[in-house]
Structure 1
């Protein structure tokens, strides 16, 4: 995805430190400044916000994905999102200070960072398109095709929220698919 060499990956990875989040613990709370950038080695996390009327789950992350509140981390502003472990989760974490030093230490870091931000933007653009152009059934099918394990490991109300539907709508769609 990021087209970096094995040697570059080895250099980058030496700067990351292991971090363990027990189930239900928080990586970040709304209003805090996010001071870390992590890679999920194992486990599941939920990125969500609380509104006056409900919780809104923005994303569920699993092994192989990066984790941070990007605007908070990059622009040093208060976090919009809570980030909570849905299971025992192992991360490889880079502090903001170490992240900032990468630019000086690794000449190719800007290219990696550019690709990472572009990937985040492309994922966001895809989610927006899905909400505008796809039916609830089509959003469910696309999510299930991409993350089938989530349906066994994540509370369904969180998946429904990611998909922009009520838990009842998700249940009806799932019932149709299995009948």
Structure 2
């Protein structure tokens, strides 16, 4: 683990300012507490029931969120993060509660990270830190809600088509089983849809 590099900091700030404008003073204070590190493929950086004391920003690589299925007690993939995504569980990080989900990197990954203690201090000293937190939470909550509603109400073909851009990326990098879990489909169903809809392009 090392202090954040300039290129990583510029990438992070660019993404953060996609949500809101940040003051120079806040950015300078933020940079002082950020770290940068690498994770090897398949590393579990957060386990189910563990408290998330750190939030990560994915510079490069790929990660998944997984949960325990209540019926089978098997792990199921519930989310994917691509480059420039913020890796956190909710509830979990903000309330420092035991997480109901876990996080695993699926490729060798480079991340920026900040501890909860440092982020809490920033929130106490900068109003924009709290505003950014709420904007980010709202953004991810909205994306997740849309995905859950799509799985519930859309037919499988339309669900596939709505997620085609993401699926095209994932198929090259992730096992079919994990993608099928995320889509709420059987692997066989997803595989057949992929073949059929690829031919129709």
TM-score if structure 1 supplies the norm length? 0.91
3-state secondary structure, aligned to 2:113: strand
3-state secondary structure, aligned to 1:70: coil
Asked if 1 retains the 8 angstrom alpha-carbon contact of 2:22 and 2:128, the reply is: no
From 156, 165, 176, the counterpart of 2:196: 176
> Equivalences for 1:21-100 in 2 at 5 Å?
21-51=39-69, 52-100=72-120
Rounded to whole Å, the distance in 2 between the matches of 1:147 and 1:13 is 34
Match of 1:4 in 2: 21
Task: Give 1:114 shift.
Answer: 1.7
> Equivalences for 1:133-148 in 2 at 5 Å?
133-148=153-168
From 107, 117, 138, the counterpart of 1:118: 138
3-state secondary structure, aligned to 1:58: strand
Task: Give 1:148 shift.
Answer: 2.5
Rounded to whole Å, the distance in 2 between the matches of 1:41 and 1:147 is 20
Q: Which runs of 5+ in 1 are unaligned?
A: none
Rounded to whole Å, the distance in 2 between the matches of 1:135 and 1:95 is 41
Q: Which runs of 4+ in 1 moved over 6 A?
A: none
TM-score if structure 2 supplies the norm length? 0.81
3-state secondary structure, aligned to 2:100: coil
Task: Give 1:64 shift.
Answer: 0.9
From 78, 103, 106, the counterpart of 2:126: 106
3-state secondary structure, aligned to 1:153: coil
Task: Give 1:173 shift.
Answer: 0.4
Task: Give 1:43 shift.
Answer: 0.4
Q: Which moved more, 1:13-22 or 1:162-171?
A: 13-22
Task: Give 1:109 shift.
Answer: 1.3
Q: How many residues align?
A: 179
